[in-house]
Structure 1
Amino acid sequence: MHMHRSGLAAVVLSLLAGTALAAQSEGELIFTTHCAACHMATPAPAGSPNEKAPTRSQLAEFSAEAVLNSLTSGKMQLQGSVLTETQRRAVSEFATGKLVASTAGSAVATNRCTNSAPMGDPAAGPSWNGWGNGPAGTRFQDAKSGGITAADLPRLKLKWAFGYTGVASASSARVLAGGGLFVGSESGEVHALDPASGCTHWS
């Protein structure tokens, strides 16, 4: 009788567990299985491997497209590679509490350059290449090339801003050459901007 009751209890517990899992949405189940260990409710301790991982509340501030792009082609693509496209979409919507709605190109379309001149000589004029502006990584630009000095810094004001659509971060260094500013996004898109106005030549 004791063994019979134990077996019955195990069956009941198994059924209850199955019911609880079934009640979870697909996105919630994927998040619990693959994401919750790093993306916790509270920030991870300083110095831990997950120190920079967004918390649950911080993920809710992202767009669903940003999380989806990160899992597909961004910094989380290794984790996303074990999921199907449908699963990545589901967990992105659960993590952010928003639906995935493609808005790619909307920001660019409203700020197209009206006059796109041919690209100039990359070796002439102001330029910046890579994160450190050269193989040495000095991040230095002399006054002649930069057009400003240290004394000008307190007087600088924001002139324009460019927003990446549907991504959480940029994935490449900015390149200034031939009169154009070239930037890449986490989704793999490349944009050619006008440094003076911020308008988009092409993307």
Structure 2
Amino acid sequence: MDAPLLGLITIALGLVVTFAGYTVLRVVIAIVGGFAGFSLGAALVGSVAGSGAGATVAVWIGAILGALLVAWLAYAFYQVAVYLALVVMGYTLGAGIGTALEADGWLRVTMGVVLAVLLLIVALAANLPAILLMIATAFSGAQAVVSGVMVLTGAARVFEWQSIAGEVVVASTSFWWALGAAVLGVAGLVVQWRSQRRKAATAYRSGALAQPVR
């Protein structure tokens, strides 16, 4: 792939991820999960349904149900993963503090459990997985945009490498490029945050208006 074309594609994808990464990634996760569930459901039902018109209908029903189920699980699973990671972090941090204070074994365990529970409560109350996903997409997308601009301007080169992509962007260590990526990442985070807040407010108003007047 030519360097200018690679730079333009990188910039375009980076902008999408920077300013709409939360929505895009969750949709992509659900779509991929749906395809996997479709194949899995069809295979499971087909293995026991035999042949015939009735079996074909059963396979289609199994495939559709599998697609819906796995798509839903894929859409929600990232939250579970983030919650588990936060629990582990909380326990490790709490136990580490106990160790630093030279506390007894049971007290270190208690401190770890308490901090893990508190961190989980905060994550649930603040919808922290969504925030973490916004941060990750905003700044990774911003870095992609900057890398694309560097390729177009010649500040970074593209060379052949033994990888799936076959081409790797070599990033510059310039402070200004890093600063540009950081500023763009912050802007993307703000845009994503405001977009999700507007969606939440709209959903809340719609739900409130839908309630019967008593």
User: TM above 0.5, one fold?
Assistant: no
* Higher percent of residues as strand: 1
* Higher percent of residues as helix: 2
- TM-score computed with the length of structure 1 as normaliser: 0.25
- TM-score computed with the length of structure 2 as normaliser: 0.24
